[in-house]
Amino acid sequence: MQNKSIKLRVIFMGTSSFAQTIFNALVAKKYNIISVYTQADKKVGRDQKLQKTAVKITAEKNKIPVFSPLKFDENEILKLKNQKPDLIIVAAYGKILPQAILDLPGFGAINTHASLLPRYRGPSPIQNSILDGEVETGSTIILMDAAIDTGEILNQKKIVINPDETSIELSQKLADLSSRLLLETIPLWVERKITPKPQEDELASFCQLIERIDGKIIWLNEAKSIYNQYRAFFSWPGVFTYWQRNDLNLRIKINKLSLGKTPISDKHSVGEVFNLNEKVAVQTGMGIIFLEEVQMEGKNNLTIKEFINGNPSFIGSVLK
């Protein structure tokens, strides 16, 4: 029966490394992917060189046509229609599809979302599940509608979030889970063995696009909350703070930190940097954070020991 689904004319839409993992799984199973839609090449780094998306790299390697429209106007929709897709598969694409596109394939458009919908609808479910201290998350396959992540559920599976897991690690775990879940779901959906299940909208929660400022540490927060922020934003934007040195307000990126589990009796101000058991700690609103690697803007990443050797006044300062 699976051979029938493989003969489907499939269009894949995705951009990130998360989407690439799912795309690779479809390619490995020899699905008939007639084209790929992904975000346009972007300029990155100091040299502002154009960089292809992860999905585009895989598509070109497999000689699959790639399209990167800036918007889906009537002309782009006509191009899609002329391809006569049976199924559109979407994973971390980053663009909203109009209803006219969703209506094209006979089997509709299905989306792989990295959360247990209806929880964490929106563009950053992985980071937000870590931010909120969740102990489990999952993958959901939905039949897409015109709204964001509100479509009927075709399949869903849970996964455990480990307490020290970063967004990068969890993303890869969820991409692997989503790949398996999608390969399980497609044949069942095509054979009409799945009854779509409406989401319970009253249980819905939402997450917004992450911005660079979201990485700013608020030292008044609990240590556990700050640790979760570090885990969530590990890949981007990272977490940072400000150090007042003389008349300069220096931005310090904290590239590695750990959660202090040792109770302390000394009273320190919130944000105060101090030595504790041969480590460098920062007092939070409740509990402490240990700094392990830091980086001043425009400078190299340093171990905290190297940084203190060059900046001894850092100990005793109060971070903002």
Q: What is the pLDDT of residues 120-143, one digit of tens each?
A: 999 999 999 999 999 999 999 999
Q: What is the pLDDT of residues 283-294, one digit of tens each?
A: 999 999 999 999
Distance, in Å, from the CA atom of 136 to the CA atom of 6, rounded to the nearest integer, reads 32
Q: Which residue has the tokens 């394939």?
A: 105
Same domain assignment for residues 184 and 40 = yes
For all residues of the chain together, what is the average pLDDT?
Answer: 94
Question: What is the reported pLDDT for 34?
Answer: 98
Dihedral angle sign, alpha carbons of residues 257, 226, 122, 199: positive
Same domain assignment for residues 131 and 23 = yes
pLDDT mean over 80-109: 97
> Residue 169 sits in a domain of what CATH number?
3.40.50.170
Same domain assignment for residues 256 and 184 = no
Structural domain ending residue among the three candidates 152, 178, 203: 203
Same domain assignment for residues 179 and 217 = no
Same domain assignment for residues 52 and 160 = yes
Question: What is the reported pLDDT for 307?
Answer: 98
Structural domain ending residue among the three candidates 171, 203, 235: 203
Same domain assignment for residues 296 and 218 = yes
Same domain assignment for residues 232 and 106 = no
Strands 42-44 vs 136-143: parallel, antiparallel or unpaired: unpaired
**How many structural domains is the chain composed of?**
2
> Residue 225 sits in a domain of what CATH number?
3.10.25.10
Question: What is the reported pLDDT for 292?
Answer: 98
Question: Is 295 a residue whose pLDDT tops 70?
Answer: yes
Same domain assignment for residues 220 and 197 = no
Question: Is 306 a residue whose pLDDT tops 80?
Answer: yes
CB count, 10 Å around CB of 3? 8
Structural domain ending residue among the three candidates 177, 203, 229: 203
Same domain assignment for residues 183 and 233 = no
Same domain assignment for residues 147 and 248 = no
Question: What is the reported pLDDT for 42?
Answer: 87
The residue type of 66 is: V
Assess if residue 320 is contained within a domain: no
Assess if residue 249 is contained within a domain: yes
pLDDT mean over 257-272: 84
Assess if residue 94 is contained within a domain: yes
Assess if residue 319 is contained within a domain: no
- Residue 148 confidence class, pLDDT cut points 50, 70, 90: very high
Question: What is the reported pLDDT for 246?
Answer: 87
Residue 24's nearest CA partner among 185, 186, 183 is: 183
pLDDT mean over 223-242: 96
Question: What is the reported pLDDT for 265?
Answer: 58
3-state SS of the chain?
CHHHHHCCCEEEEECCHHHHHHHHHHHHCCCCEEEEECCCCEEECCCCEEECCHHHHHHHHCCCCEECCCCCCHHHHHHHHHCCCCEEEEECCCCCCCHHHHCCCCCCEEEEECCCCCCCECCCHHHHHHHCCCCEEEEEEEECCCCCCCCEEEEEEEEECCCCCCHHHHHHHHHHHHHHHHHHHHHHHHCCCCCCECCCHHHCCECCCCCHHHHECCCCCEHHHHHHHHHHCCCCCCEEEEEEECCEEEEEEEEEEEECCCCCCCCCCCCEEEEECCEEEEECCECEEEEEEEEECCCCCEEHHHHHHHCHHHCCCECC
Same domain assignment for residues 61 and 99 = yes
pLDDT mean over 232-238: 94
> What pTM was computed for the model?
0.93
* Residue ranges making up the domain that contains 283: 213-314
Question: What is the reported pLDDT for 5?
Answer: 47
- Residue 2 confidence class, pLDDT cut points 50, 70, 90: very low
Question: Is 266 a residue whose pLDDT tops 90?
Answer: no
Same domain assignment for residues 185 and 251 = no
